[in-house]
Amino acid sequence: MSKSLWNMPDSESVLGPVQIMREQGEILTRSTDGKLQYNIQTSGSGQEIVNDFNIVVPSLGFYIYTVGRYVQRPLAIYPGRFHSQLIGEWKEISDESVFRGYLGYVLGSQAAADLIKTLLSQVA
Amino acid sequence: MGQIGFRMVALLFWNTQQGKVGSLVPLICNQYDVDVVVLAEEERTSEEIFAGSFGSGSSSYSEYAPVKSKIRFFFRNGSGILRMVSDADERKSIREFIPTAGPACLVAGAHIISKLRTRESDQYFAARILKNAVEQAEIAVGHNRTIVIGDMNMNPFEEGMLAADGLHGMMTKSIVIKQSRRVQGQKHSFFYNPMWSRLGDESHGPAGTYYHGPGGAISPYWHTFDQALLRPSLVPAYERGFLEVVTQINGTDLLSNTNFKQSDHLPIVLRLIF
């Protein structure tokens, strides 16, 4: 077996917005007994990568609501910018702690609570 | 209105500029027998929009607002139902219209950010987001009978509307029926954009849907920002003249001055026959 010449980082230490949004998606799915699920959709073109954090509601014909969108450069997780239609403005994200703090603000908002309530009330 | 055995579906889009259009929405609905109404920049309640403007025997409309959105959907009671599909952001909402007869269609309502407040590259970005949301929605519902309708704040010839990774809106049906084309190895599906045929003096109807005098070296004066695009699967349901830029509503001339007294945008009505 060949010896690796790569200086590979410890994968545990790389925690970007996608992983953090995925964690929160798992929590949402668990706390709603799977009624509300999530996906992270990554797309990109040219100079930017777009990561959409979607709530997916299987029993509503797989309705998708994009809770937030993190836009970054391909070769740097941070800095980037995050937009949530629940708040309605872009936030510059310099590092993981800023991202965690702002995502907490969005997901903990009254608008997010109203959205979850509206969706759950339509789930059979 | 439709031929015997066929079902006509009509959609209205109008940027009503914070309700400046007064009672014209129900009048235009009546005039064109509209099934689905999509409004942008409308802040009035459903009751205020449709208040008491119908005579006896006229249709009534209900709003479908399962989540908060700046793109508002209404349907004519008895014409069918709307259901949620996705909300990419507050300016792009996708619903499925399931008529009482005829096939279901996806309706993607959009109000892309204005040039006055952003750069053209941001509009292109928004168009790509919309295209991705439409493709996701088509996978979710299992068909691509899709209509994109709204205030794009771009003309049909601008990058976001025309680029392969944008909305890819072509000007002729003969190109669109090829379904898609490959660009640098990636397949991109077409839309048919009948608004190409609504540009300028010699088109059917006004020269555009929005008038804005020159602000720089390049200005066409008239812009065709309000558009309706169709996937190839809906092209057979579209006949010549089925897209109308409305200038007269029940005797009210919307072009009585170039600033359009009621709204700075003209309404568009799209009809399809199944």
Kindly give the confidence (pLDDT) of every residue in chain B, 274 residues in length, as a single tens digit, with 9 standing for 90 and above.
444 578 899 999 999 998 888 889 999 999 999 999 999 999 999 999 998 655 555 789 999 998 989 999 999 999 999 999 999 998 999 999 999 988 999 999 999 999 888 888 889 999 999 999 999 999 989 999 999 999 999 999 999 999 999 999 999 999 999 999 999 998 999 999 999 999 999 999 999 999 887 778 888 899 999 999 999 999 999 999 999 999 999 888 898 865 566 788 999 999 999 9
A50/B140 Cβ within 8 A: no
Q: Please check whether residue B40 lies inside any domain of the structure.
A: yes
Kindly state whether residue B1 falls inside one of the protein's structural domains: no
Give residue B121's pLDDT.
87
A27 pLDDT exceeds 90?
yes
Q: What share of chain A is helix, strand, coil (3-state, %, to 5)?
A: 35, 35, 30
Q: What is the pLDDT of residue B19?
A: 80
Q: For residues B115 and A56, what is the distance between their CA atoms, to the nearest angstrom? A: 32
Has residue B2 been placed in a domain?
Answer: no
Q: Which two tokens stand for residue B87?
A: 């909300």
CB spacing of A64 vs B67 below 8 angstroms: no
Q: Is B86 on the interface with A (CB under 8 A)?
A: yes
Which two tokens mark B134?
């439409």
pLDDT value of position B2: 45
**Token reading at B8:** 């006509």
| B140: nearest CB among A61, A66, A118 | A61
Which residues, at least 6 apart from B139, have a Cβ–Cβ distance to it below 8 Å? none
In a domain, residue A5? The reply is no
Please report whether residue B89 resides in a domain: yes
B203/A contact by beta carbon, under 8 A: no
Angle at B249 between CA B247 and CA B255, to 5 degrees: 35
DSSP letters, A60-99, are: GTSEEEEEEEEEEETTEEEEEEEEETTTTEEEEE-SHHHH
Residue of B174, B179, B208, B209 lying closest to B191 (CA atoms): B179
The number of distinct structural domains making up chain A is: 1
Query: Residues A44-94: pLDDT tens digits?
Result: 766 788 899 999 999 998 999 999 999 999 888 999 999 999 998 899 999
Asked if residue A83 lies in contact with residue B89, where contact means CB atoms within 8 angstroms, the answer is yes
Three-state SS for B32? helix
Sort A32 into a burial class: Cβ within 10 Å, 0-12 / 13-18 / 19+.
middle
Judge whether A45 lies within some domain: yes
Q: Nearest-CA distance from A15 to chain B in Å?
A: 25
Is the separation of the CB atoms in B249 and B181 below 8 Å?
no
B111 belongs to a structural domain: yes
Residue the block writes with tokens 């949004």: A21
Check CB contact under 8 Å for B84 and A66.
no
Establish if A116 belongs to a structural domain: yes
Mean pLDDT, chain A, integer:
91
State the total domains in chain B. 1
Q: How confident is the model at residue A38 (pLDDT cuts 50, 70, 90)?
A: very high
Q: What is the pLDDT of residue B52?
A: 62
What does the block give as tokens for B10? Answer: 């009509």
Shortest Cα–Cα distance, A56 to chain B (Å): 9
By the 10 Å C-beta count (0-12 exposed, 13-18 middle, 19+ buried), B215 is classed as exposed
CB neighbour list of residue A22: distance below 8 Å, 6 or more residues apart: A38, A40
Tokens of A96: 């993981």
**Residue A42 resides in a domain:** yes
**Any A CB within 8 A of B137 CB:** yes
**CATH number, domain with residue B86:** 3.60.10.10
Total count of residues recorded for chain B = 274
Residue A8 lies in a domain: no
Contact state of B83 with A61 under an 8 Å Cβ cutoff: yes
Q: Would you call B88 and A66 a contact, using CB atoms and an 8 Å cutoff? A: yes
Candidates B68, B73, B83, B84, partner chain A, best to mutate (most A CBs within 10 A): B84
Host domain of residue B122: 8-273
Q: Which domain holds residue A31?
A: 16-121
Q: State the burial class of residue B15 (Cβ atoms within 10 Å of its Cβ: 0-12, 13-18, 19+).
A: buried
Contact B128 A88 (CB under 8 A): no
Domain for residue A36, yes or no?
Answer: yes
Q: Would you call B118 exposed, middle or buried from its count of C-beta atoms within 10 A (0-12, 13-18, 19+)?
A: middle
Which of A30, A77, A85 is closest to A53 using CA atoms?
A85
